[in-house]
Amino acid sequence: MMNKKREITLPLLLAKSLTLVLMCTLLLFLWDASAEKSKAKEQMKKETANEQKAAKKETAAVQTAAKKIPVKKHSETKNTVIKQPAKMVSPGDADTIYLTFDDGPTRTTGKLLDLLEKHHVKASFFMLEPGIKKYQDEVKRIDKDGHSLGLHGVSHSPKLFYRSPETVTGEMKTAQAALRSVTGVRSSLVRTPYGSKPLLTAAEKKALTASGFIYWDWNVDSDDWKYKDKNVANEVYKQIERQKKNFPRQPIVVLMHDRAGSLSSVDTLLTKLKNKGYQFKTVNEHLKPVQFR
Ligand SMILES: [Zn+2]
């Protein structure tokens, strides 16, 4: 009987022990896992705290840096007009000439274009809306020949043009639309009648810029509308040489007029300038414009 009881008890004991060992192992495993978990939690807490510290430091650094930026600069950034190209290129030095013709087109524009073609020179034309409508073939040829297209307004009357910021931008927009309907080109290059000084007010300048226009003045005035003889060419040449000597780093922008009386002067002047090795360029939207100060 005893033996039989023993026989039954031994495997039972073995099974019980095995279960105990298994349970212990399981418990140990579970305890280990939970320990690992809390360790990870601890680490995470530490890292978060470190990150928060770093973020605080960074915020403080940014605030300090922001304090160092002058207020004026900030307001300038705010006023920057987005319509213009972000970066404007230098228009060159005093070996570069920008010939500009105002007040056209006229019935003699074709003759002026023939002369420019003869001398292989490209120029820039600041045109009035009535002429653009009247001499459409001439406007198309200016474009086709590779000259630059610019605007000069509608009325050419200081009283009407410079009356308000609205009249300044309004005349330029009217001329812009006319030029676009004839050539398909949308030009934002302008010259205000008689130049920006002293007639163009600060508010009008701001309005022009806000409408996307870029205005060009000049630094050599041919006064070609005053004379009919060839002295204009000599006068302009003298002024160009003086400008080159005094401001060698500034390009030369010559104001001339698209008119019958200027044709012979243009011929003489171009012969002279070509012989002296001057380069001719045309204005475009990417150049930093030459403006009166
Ligand atoms: Zn003019």
Distance CA 247, CA 257 (A): 24
Q: Which domains does the chain have, with CATH numbers?
A: 93-280 (3.20.20.370)
Separation of 106 CA from ligand 1 center, angstroms?
13
> Residue 81: what pLDDT?
42
> Residue 231: what pLDDT?
82
> Residue 78: what pLDDT?
36
CB under 5 Å of ion ligand 1: residues: 102-103, 193
Separation of 196 CA from ligand 1 center, angstroms?
11
Beta strand 252-257 pairing with 214-215: unpaired
> Residue 229: what pLDDT?
60
Residue at 184: amino acid letter:
G
Separation of 44 CA from ligand 1 center, angstroms?
75
Separation of 117 CA from ligand 1 center, angstroms?
23
Q: What is the pTM of this model?
A: 0.71
Other CB atoms within a 10 A radius of the CB of residue 269 amount to: 27
> Residue 23: what pLDDT?
65
> Residue 50: what pLDDT?
47
Catalytically active residues are 102, 257
> Residue 9: what pLDDT?
62
> Residue 251: what pLDDT?
95
> Residue 230: what pLDDT?
60
Distance CA 196, CA 192 (A): 6
Nearest 5 degrees, angle CA 223-CA 225-CA 231?
A: 60
Separation of 146 CA from ligand 1 center, angstroms?
22
Q: What is the mean pLDDT of each run of 10 residues along the chain (293 residues)?
A: 52 64 55 48 47 44 38 35 66 95 98 98 98 98 98 98 98 98 98 98 98 98 79 93 96 96 93 96 97 94
Separation of 31 CA from ligand 1 center, angstroms?
94
Separation of 101 CA from ligand 1 center, angstroms?
9
> Residue 10: what pLDDT?
60
Distance CA 171, CA 155 (A): 8
Separation of 152 CA from ligand 1 center, angstroms?
7
> Residue 289: what pLDDT?
97
Distance CA 115, CA 34 (A): 94
Terminal alpha carbon distance of the chain? 126
